[in-house]
């Protein structure tokens, strides 16, 4: 049975945290900080996958 080897993932890059001045304080949805939090969630998940792949775990 053929093995499917995935090419190595590149290490994920963390999103840039917005400055406090980037928020207009008008209650926008999504706020730049909400968008950043979502990006950080995706980054953390990608890092877990990258670390598993780096360790050779399926």
* Average pLDDT estimate for 42-49: 97
CB 32 within 8 A of CB 23: yes
pLDDT tens, position by position, 3-43: 556 677 899 999 999 999 999 999 999 999 999 999 999 99
Long-range contacts of 45-48 (CB under 8 A, 24+ apart): 46/9, 46/12, 47/12
pLDDT at 58 over 80: no
The residue-averaged pLDDT of 40-50 equals 97
Computed from CA positions of residues 12, 41, 38, 14, in that sequence, does the dihedral angle turn out positive or negative?
negative
Output the pLDDT for position 3: 56
pLDDT tops 60 at residue 2? no
Q: 55 vs 42, which has greater pLDDT? A: 42
């Amino acid at each position: 049975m053929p093995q499917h080897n995935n090419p190595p993932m590149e290490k994920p890059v963390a999103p840039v945290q917005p400055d406090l001045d980037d928020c207009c304080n008008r209650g926008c949805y999504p706020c730049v900080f909400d968008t950043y939090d979502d990006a950080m969630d995706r980054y953390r998940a990608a890092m877990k996958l990258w670390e598993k792949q780096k360790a050779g775990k399926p």
